A and B are shown apart, each in its own frame.
Chain A
Amino acid sequence: MKKLINSVDAVVTDTLRGIAAAHPSLRVDVENKVIYRADAPHQGKVGLVSGGGSGHEPLHGGFVGYGMLDAACPGEVFTSPVPDQMIEASKGVDGGAGVLHIVKNYTGDVLNFEMAAELCADEGIEVASVLVNDDVAVQDSLYTAGRRGTGATLFVEKIAGALAETGAPLAEVARVAKEVNERSRSFGVALTAGTVPAAGRPTFELPDTEIELGIGIHGEPGRTRTSHREAREIARLALDAIDDDVALSGDTLVLLNGMGGTPLMELYIVYAEVAAYLEEKGARAVRSLVGNYVTSLDMQGFSVSVCRLTDELTRLWDAPVETPGLRWGR
């Protein structure tokens, strides 16, 4: 498998060097692996820190900037970062109003962020955490690791970031972050698996005639495999899964997210079907985003995330944002 890399072991640091060179609005600590807003910390503003494995770019580093995250901690490819990174990041963005950790629900991410939050408390930094678990493909139960955090992470980071920018206190920012997560659902479909540089070959093999339903963002296989079919039917499979979990209605925010290896053209083809489906259900996509935002290396496929909006959430979504991966209104 051909990859544009210098060496397998330097993938993450070389990515960080590139981000640092390309985005003067960011301060990148390559050694400790933390990406900061160049102007952090902001006195009196809640600091937003997220992080997770690399390979999902632009998540999370591409969402650092005005109106979104204050810092991001990239782990190795598909591996959660370590507590030292979150502690360093939290110290760097704490402007006295506390720090919100936005954590995707994976065992590794949860354990490392928990350890970091405890150690931050020891150092006198107030930390609140919000867990993102929007993926309906996973059955939620007390006896499993629970639902995964996927596309809705972008919604949480954007909307909580907008509220933090207004000077809202930590408890409020955490509340809105939780509300966004609770109102959001996602489902993913893969046409091919991605290739982790260290593994050198696709994580799973999919024949030309089959697709994988309910995939996560780490190249882990999904729950079921089915025959490949028209975009219309695939979009329907994904949205049925969401609608079965929580009925789609009212005004919604929709992310039609590419997994990294699918042309934008195909994402728009799927999006047309998503919009039609919502209309059929009496729901409306009043805000939308189509593109590669929460990727899984070079996986082909998409995920669709739907957030049922309130007036407050719509207003915060529309608020100005200026990050490498998302920018409007400023």
Chain B
Amino acid sequence: MDTSFFLAWINAIATAVQAERDHLTQLDAAIGDADHGANLDRGFAAVRQALTDAPPQTPGAVLTAAGSALIRKVGGASGPLYGTAFRQMGRSLGDAAEITPEALAAGLEAALAGIQKLGGAAEGDKTLVDALAPAVRALGRAVQDGTKLTDALAATEAAAQEGARATVPLEARKGRASYLGPRSVGHEDPGAASTVLIFAALREAAGQA
């Protein structure tokens, strides 16, 4: 996976977020403040702009630049959280021009660690961690087993999707939905839903490569 692969990934995320903007906002209206779709759409539009204005030369630089743009433009909790995730992943990839599946898995582990350190959420708190953590585990397992990359990323996306669906019966303990207490039960977490889009885009980028 080279720089153009990672640019394709980020572009696919931006496209998916734009397409799902209203859906994400509706999920957020149910248990939050009805802006998740609009915020991420604005953020990834800024990411696209940043990557066009100053095209990064390595996969790590693509992700670091994307993360910085998210922190600078999104606001809310999702800006710093997703921004930190991409920056940590970018840092983990280092200066390498070509990323192995092992390095990709390690990078996503770094992303998860960064989000958890900043936001303090654990699995089961009804946050994006509920989609991200199982996806990271699924990729780690698939890579260890030597699974073909496209299959590994399909399994990763499926794990994220399952994790997001599993947030429905949970009571939120972190983030804005936590203010609802038991009334947050019965709704999918919008952050988990947007995390699924990120992994769907990753699988898509691998399919095109």
What is the interface of chain A, defined by CB distance below 8 A to chain B?
A: 53, 75-84, 106-108, 111-112, 115, 137-139, 143-145, 148, 196, 198-199, 203-204, 216, 218-223
Contact = CB atoms under 8 A, between A and B. Distances in A.
Contact of B71 (A107, A115, A216, A221): A115
Given A138-B179, A223-B180, A107 B174 contact: yes
Contacts of A76: 35, 38-39, 42, 75
B183 A82 contact: no
Nearest to A141: B173
Interface of B: 25, 29-35, 38-39, 42, 71-81, 118-119, 173-181, 183
Nearest to B73: A82
A145 B178 contact: yes
Given A107-B77, A107-B119, A219-B33, A79 B39 contact: yes
Contact of A203 (B33, B73, B80): B33
A82 B174 contact: no
* Central interface residue in A81, A112, A145, by most chain B CB within 10 Å: A145
Given A107-B175, A218-B176, 10 more contacts: A78-B34, A78-B35, A79-B75, A112-B76, A115-B80, A144-B173, A198-B35, A199-B25, A220-B31, A223-B179
Contacts of B181: 139, 223
Contacts of B74: 79, 82
A199 B33 CA distance: 10
Nearest to B70: A82
Contact of A82 (B79, B119, B179): B79
Contact of A145 (B80, B176, B183): B176
B110 to A, nearest CB: 18
A188 to B, nearest CB: 11
Contacts of A112: 75-76, 79-80
Contacts of A145: 174-176, 178-179
B175 A82 contact: no
Contacts of A221: 31, 180, 183
Contacts of B76: 53, 75, 79-80, 108, 112
Contacts of B30: 204
Contacts of B81: 111
Nearest to A148: B179
* Central interface residue in B76, B174, B178, by most chain A CB within 10 Å: B76
Given A144-B174, A218-B176, A221-B180, A199 B29 contact: yes
B176 A196 contact: no
A199 B74 CA distance: 17
A223 B183 contact: yes
Contacts of A144: 173-174, 178
A315 B79 CA distance: 40
A139 B173 CA distance: 11
* Central interface residue in A115, A139, A196, A221, by most chain B CB within 10 Å: A221
Nearest to B184: A221
A137 B178 CA distance: 12
Nearest to B41: A198
